[in-house]
Amino acid sequence: MRSENMLTGIKTFDALGGLPEKSNILLIGPPGPEKMMLSIKLLSNNLNIGGKGVYITTDQLPQEIEQKSKKFAADLSQFTAKNLWFVDCYSWTLGKQLEERKDIVVPGPTALNDLSLGIAQSMQNAADSQSPSVIFQSVSTLLLYNNPEMVFRFVQILGSRLKFSNATTLLHLESSMHDEKVVTTMKHLADEVIELKSEDGKTMILSPMLGIRNWIELIF
C-alpha cells in the first residue's frame, strides 16, 4: 500500500500530486548542490506551514547549511531549535562546536549507536507534528567510515523507526563515491528513489517509481 502524497512546494513534484509522505526517499546523484537544494526546499515548505523537521548532517556544519539555505530563498535559521533540530555528526572534525547552539552533537560518523540515540532525541522534539520532514545528509559519509553491511542495517532500522514516527525522510547518497552493489542495496532499502544530475545549468531528475521515466528538468 502506497502512502498518501504530500505537497512539497516544488512545482515539478506538486504537478504530479506531490511526494509520498511517511516514506523513505533516496536522493542519489553526483556531488553537487542539487540534493541539498531539493531537500531544503521541501523542508522549508513543511516548516512554513507549521510542520517540524530534523536535519542530520555528517558532512557540513549546521551553520553552513543555514547559510546555504538563504541562497535557496529558504532561511532555515529562523526555525532552528524551534521547529527544526539539527543532529550534528560533523563538528567532531573540528574538535569543538564553533558557537553555542542547541544542536544534538554526535561524536563522529563511526558512532552509529550515538547517532541513533541523537536522532531519536530529535524526533521526540518533533513528536507532535503530523508528518515531520527528516533530511539525512549524507549516508555516503557513513559508508566511508563503516562497514557497508553495518550501514545497511543502520539505514534499514532507522528507516522503519522514522516511518513509524510518520516522518517523510530524504536520504542523500553520492552515487560516484560507491560501487554498483552499494548503490543497488541502498535503492532496495528506500521506498522511492529520485536520481538527480546537473545538465547545462539545469537540475534534472529521474524517478520511474514516481512516474518520471525520462530525465526532466526540476522546476522549483
CA angle, residues 1, 160, 213, in degrees to nearest 5? 50
**Those residues with Cβ within 8 angstroms of residue 161's Cβ, 6 or more apart along the chain or in another chain:** 120, 123
Mean pLDDT, residues 201-212 taken together: 94
- Return left, alpha or beta for 17; rule: phi > 0 is left, psi -120 to 50 is alpha, else beta: left
Average predicted confidence (pLDDT) for the chain: 93
* Grid coordinates of 170: 530524504
For each of the domains in the chain, give its residue range(s) and CATH number, in order of start: 5-217 (3.40.50.300)
DSSP code for 197? E
Does 220 have pLDDT greater than 60?
yes
The model's pTM: 0.95
Q: How many residues does the chain have?
A: 220
42-56, 73-87, 97-111, 163-177: the lowest-pLDDT one:
97-111
Mean pLDDT, residues 150-154 taken together: 98
More confident residue, 85 or 1: 85
Mean pLDDT, residues 166-180 taken together: 95
pLDDT at 97: 59
Does 1 have pLDDT greater than 50?
no
CA atoms within 13 A on the CB side of 195: 17
Q: Which residues pair with 212 in a beta bridge?
A: 207
Tally of helices (H runs) and strands (E runs) in the chain:
7, 11
pLDDT at 96: 64
pLDDT in tens, 14-60: 999 999 999 999 999 988 899 999 999 999 999 999 999 999 999 99
